[in-house]
Chain A
Amino acid sequence: MKVNAGDTAWVLISAALVMFMTPGLAFFYGGMVRAKNVLGMLMQNFFALGIVSVLWAALCYSLAFGGTNPYIGNLDFAWLDTVAKQAPPGFAALTIPPLLFMAYQMMFAVITPALITGAIADRMRFGAWVLFIGLWAILVYAPIAHWVFSPEGWLFKRGALDFAGGTVVHVNAGIGALAAVLVLGKRRGWPRHPMPPHSLPLTLIGTGMLWFGWFGFNAGSALAANGLAAQALVNTHLAAAAGMLGWLALERIKGGHATTLGAASGAVAGLVAITPCAGFVGGMSSVPIGLAAGALCFLAVNMKFRFGYDDSLDVIGVHLVGGVLGSLLLGLFAERAVNPAGADGVFFGGGFALLGEQTIAIVATLVYSFVVTGLILLGLKALMPGGLRITEDDENTGLDLSQHSEVAYAPDRV
């Protein structure tokens, strides 16, 4: 293992960029809830930085990257034991300090369960969220990260590609969100009572933070300051841009106005879809990927009204649908010419082999995350005296006052 100063500098910065995405996500979602629930939403996200960071260092990093078992890591790196001296199995070519790799991956572990907050908005007890997110980081995130991100993992070994977390982050959190809303139930009054966003400026600030941080997420996943990182950065930005165009175009075609929330949502959809592809596709491929994500996610967010599940802020419509789409499109657009560690997709003479492996990785993630997320929540529901949900009174009052004894906005206070 030879540490390279340039690579190390870039991944240090990238770790900080990815950390910044979780507050960004907090504001992205916080603006979309009603004013009485905005602190509750911000808190669920910020709390992810608290609990998941400590769990990651103590246990989850080791479960994700320790050992050579294909299904789950071991305890070699638990409590940060030997992490500073030893690259994880399969990462012999690492040119950054292994401790930095641990820290960089920590930020992914933080934001992934935080994505679920958008689906369960306005109705979960804070105490239930505390236990849920901790268990989810250990029982869902760590194993799937091991399968896909660790070269010892069974999906990695089969040849599934995921540059920065299409399956591990977005499909995983998106299907977890579906299990969560099915166990938790709808917000009282939904969809009869309108629950429109209280502050789209907050949502757009959050979108800007996410977009900015995503360069660390995707280009940082090159784990080096090189041409591949540049390729991933360009792909990331173009897909976000095209995602915005795709969403806005459909909004207008369907007879509506071009909305700020549509611009933000389209950009995020493009970012989600490019995440698995960022370091494996080249040329202008990121543009059709982004356009498809913006358009498809626009259509997908209205599924919840047809099927009657309260995915409050469209985690399923954007992250699950966008994550599945991006992971599948990688099977079409991947080019070995861009990244020799990758593969050729259908459009580049590779046949259907990669698309098949992508499908297996998606299905494995869908099944495991849905089942285990559901079991965690059903277990907590049975065991916690207060259950998962806040009371009807508390739901009327809002999370801010009922869960945290605070209010977000009090401009008339003198």
Chain B
Amino acid sequence: MKLVTGIIKPFKVDDVKDALADLGVQGLTVSEVQGYGRQKGHTEVYRGAEYKVDFVPKVRIDVLVGDDDAERVALALVDAARTGKIGDGKVWVTPVEQLYRVRTGEAGPDAL
């Protein structure tokens, strides 16, 4: 089992959800996060005083998938989240050691 994680632009979250649903992904978790990459932050101005805001709002998507699906899901996520402009984000894949379904107690790939 793998965990596919993406940090993406917030307005892309619906496109990504639809693309993953088309691949048969059954569920995912979305969180609002902040951070910066090469894009860096932006400047805000209040009453003439400038404030540098380093952390840009992003959305983090976590999807648990079977080993065979990981690459397909990750690439679909990359495609759906891309605008081609700086700040599109990152996607990575990590191994998952064990997994349980809370309702039934099923373990391993059965819990996906």
Contact = CB atoms under 8 A, between A and B. Distances in A.
A296 to B, nearest CB: 13
Interface residues on B, range: under 10
Nearest to A32: B46
Interface stretch (B15-23, B47-55, B83-91): B47-55
Of A196, A265, A298, A301, chain B has the most CB atoms within 10 Å of the CB of: A196
B52 A251 contact: no
Interface residues on A, range: 10 to 19
State the main secondary structure of chain B at its contact with A: strand
Contacts of B49: 302, 305
Contact of B48 (A194, A196, A197, A254): A254
A194 B47 contact: no
A395 interface: no
Contacts of B44: 196
B46 A197 contact: yes
Contacts of B48: 251, 254, 256, 298, 301-302
B47 A265 contact: yes
Nearest to A200: B46
Contacts, number: 29
B105 to A, nearest CB: 25
Contacts of A196: 44, 46, 51, 53
Contacts of B53: 194, 196
A264 B51 CA distance: 19
A314 interface: yes
Interface string A300-318: 0110010000000010000
Contacts of B45: 256-257, 259
Interface string B7-49: 0000000000000000000000000000000000000111111
A262 B52 contact: no
A302 B47 CA distance: 8
A305 B44 CA distance: 17
A401 interface: no
A261 interface: yes
Contacts of A262: 47
Interface string B65-104: 0000000000000000000000000000000000000000
Contacts of A301: 47-48
A314 B47 contact: yes
Contacts of A305: 49
Given A261-B47, A301-B47, A301-B48, 15 more contacts: A194-B51, A194-B53, A196-B46, A196-B51, A197-B46, A256-B45, A257-B45, A259-B46, A259-B47, A262-B47, A298-B47, A298-B48, A302-B47, A302-B48, A314-B47
Interface of A: 194, 196-197, 251, 254, 256-257, 259, 261-262, 265, 298, 301-302, 305, 314
29 contacts: A194-B51, A194-B52, A194-B53, A196-B44, A196-B46, A196-B51, A196-B53, A197-B46, A251-B48, A254-B48, A256-B45, A256-B48, A257-B45, A259-B45, A259-B46, A259-B47, A261-B46, A261-B47, A262-B47, A265-B47, A298-B47, A298-B48, A301-B47, A301-B48, A302-B47, A302-B48, A302-B49, A305-B49, A314-B47
